[in-house]
Structure 1
């Protein structure tokens, strides 16, 4: 590709520019990773303790039901809202609700009144819908089409580092409270500090039309959409066969959190060990995302083959891990689980080792499964406007499944039934994803939805004006 200029922004596009530019996809995906490190990363660490750090899961389960109900709605609407408002306003509004939710749990620690926690959970669902729609659009549309797996794994590693650090907060602050029933105030305050930092950092994310890939191409030419356009386009998603094939995978992808957090980590381990377990659960996610990113970007020349191999690897590993989970689950039940005096501690040696490895493996599988699905979404299109809707649809269906899962646990469904439901949902999704890759993923980058063809005269304008990446970067910082 020769040097040419973006007429609107006056940017000279030079091949193979630095990855460390402020307006590069690498820096912007890293920034959204840091935002998610501080907000959903910390939320994941909080939820992963089981009952959000409370011995009684009821308040947390009800709050999560409210959260994922509103998340299901605003996850689907979030893509349209992102296309109208742009990333900064969408992300700032979304991140601020995480701080409120952590604050509601601090309030609950003193009053044990659920109302504020449930309302805050519902508001967090709205904010999460906005944040994850924006995140999905950025993570799948900013990178070059042949390195989306690499960028997804980079994001997932930074994001889940938040869960690792977040797991250390309750472990350190509650280390000497082996028989405590809930985490202390400092734990919730620590989470609020990180979430506030993420809210401020969201302002640093650039609009996709200002992001320039390393080969000089602009991520997208869109400006701002309208409510009427987005309303129509969102409704079309429910008739889009690509999205329909993805529904089981989306539904399953957060459904298993309730079981893993409450009925494995929360049911088997004491408070401080639950925090330590989360350090490794989210650390395993970093490993899993890197493995999948490598498979789906570098394993074979054909992108379609890489997608199929990635699904196969996740399916085989998932079958083995859920099988191990079944073996452990047959040893206890909701009615016959360890009491407070017999919960596992990380100092319990071999008794601790087996359940710990299982929980670690659940984290590994989660990252591999979700990174695989995000790679497939990113392979369906290459434009931020399209991918924000696809990502929003995925998060909306995902959240609807999570809302059901949290309420199922509130109704005291048997642990074994929940495990079987989770295993079945993920298993059903694999052949449908295989079909989606076969039918919709193309090896020719010019065939991807949303990519202007290289020989399209609209995709390149001969250089005839002054401008530079450096001056452009300074004007948008």
Structure 2
């Protein structure tokens, strides 16, 4: 099955030479690969955490394990870009999927036998693995698609990634819906076995990811790659990028975007097992709608990219104001009452909408951030570093947040206050970066112009993709 539209070997005048597209090298196929791995690996991991504390009865051990996961993940995300650029995106993605089933198996042994040490081992495996996964996944999701379809393909990726928690929550709900699950407690141990089996499938799927230089876009443009000739050179590029003024100013929003790990405690404090399962399922439906809504605006071609980014920035701010005001009101009520709601209880809906609004606003910010970064460069090597920095900083923030939530903190007021302050501090520096940002807006013919600049402002380092398989190493072109 092939598409007859020729795209490889574009000439300077925008015409294409006679090579047909191969379906397994198209951007759509690769969006499904990256989405499928995200669906089964981190997606199902998120489904367990959407139960509150990985489905455990008490949140404190699991929060400590998750703090370890995200600490390690933060470091590996930062260095994931250079690693992916050296060993390849598909191998990085494969290694990034390995640790997830190990962690799920550890949660099973803890649930069934009370084993605690394996939870920490699983957390280490998952943290190391997840760092590589997020660095490679972000670069593929941002760098492979055609520029005009970037929001659309990012939405496909995020729908898959959110579909994993949705399926996982449906499984959990199906296994924990009986009357015996009305009260507080932990989920049934058989739930974890299904998750382990599904997450194992993500590992072989990753190997089918196409290498960047072989990707065939529908508009004939090429994925631009700048491969450094040594590990030292890769680390130097990462160091330069990390100290750029705009990246430094974005650090507060990188931290604020995923800091709200109090959500798991909120569910374990105030809801029974089957109510938590239902909340996880419904909240992810809201996440899908949020991703779809903002992606439609980000790909709206009647507006310039700068206008899309500006309008959606204010949209994200509005969503967070709404979500956090409502969250504070409900939290104060729950702190006084200390309820334990089942889904049949009158106060259940009030708490459900807190979680839905938190997830809805957070997903909108995630889409916006990824799209924003994708307009900073059209070189996938730099995108892998940018996505690694983003996910690395988000992971550090999650580690701190999970650590913060290993204690009760007066009914949740402390983590809520920290979240609110972080979000407030992030607005102004993010606006400064957006105000001065000049997004890359180019059409198909731009990909063939050799006078454009890469992140080092050396035009000679761009790849001349008119010759299939050409790739640039440092400043020397070699053919694979």
Say if 1:16 and 1:216, in contact at 8 Å, map to a contact too.
Answer: no
Q: Tell me the equivalent position of 2:478.
A: none
Q: For residues 4 and 210 of structure 1, what CA distance do their matches in structure 2 show? A: 9
298-307 or 214-223: bigger deviation? 214-223
Extract unaligned runs of 5+ from structure 1: 465-477
Q: For residues 389 and 347 of structure 2, what CA distance do their matches in structure 1 show? A: 42
Q: For residues 229 and 40 of structure 2, what CA distance do their matches in structure 1 show? A: 29
RMSD of aligned alpha carbons:
2.8
Say if 1:51 and 1:57, in contact at 8 Å, map to a contact too.
Answer: yes
The one of 223, 228, 232 aligned to 1:228 = 232
The one of 265, 271, 283 aligned to 1:262 = 265
Say if 2:8 and 2:216, in contact at 8 Å, map to a contact too.
Answer: no
Change (3 A) 1:462 1:145: closer
Q: Tell me the equivalent position of 2:449.
A: 453
Change (3 A) 1:214 1:116: same
Q: Tell me the equivalent position of 1:413.
A: 409
Change (3 A) 1:316 1:193: same
Change (3 A) 1:16 1:316: farther
What is the deviation of 1:427? 2.8
**Residue 5 (structure 2) pairs with residue 5 (structure 1):** no
- TM-score of the aligned structures, taking structure 2 as reference length: 0.87
What is the deviation of 1:266? 2.0
What is the deviation of 1:206? 1.1
What is the deviation of 1:200? 1.8
**Residue 129 (structure 2) pairs with residue 127 (structure 1):** yes
Q: For residues 192 and 3 of structure 1, what CA distance do their matches in structure 2 show? A: 40
Q: For residues 333 and 168 of structure 2, what CA distance do their matches in structure 1 show? A: 30
**Residue 400 (structure 2) pairs with residue 377 (structure 1):** no
Q: For residues 14 and 54 of structure 1, what CA distance do their matches in structure 2 show? A: 58
293-302 or 191-200: bigger deviation? 293-302
* SS of structure 1 residue aligned to 2:9: strand
Extract unaligned runs of 5+ from structure 2: 453-459, 469-480
Change (3 A) 1:453 1:262: farther
- TM-score of the aligned structures, taking structure 1 as reference length: 0.88
Q: For residues 133 and 265 of structure 2, what CA distance do their matches in structure 1 show? A: 25
What is the deviation of 1:428? 2.4
Change (3 A) 1:207 1:400: same
Q: Tell me the equivalent position of 2:433.
A: 436
- Mapping for residues 165-314 of structure 1, pairs under 5 Å: 165-176=167-178, 177-178=180-181, 179=183, 181-222=185-226, 226-256=230-260, 258-263=261-266, 265-298=267-300, 300-314=302-316
Q: Tell me the equivalent position of 2:338.
A: 337
What is the deviation of 1:300? 4.5
What is the deviation of 1:359? 1.4
- How many equivalent pairs are there? 450
Say if 1:101 and 1:117, in contact at 8 Å, map to a contact too.
Answer: yes
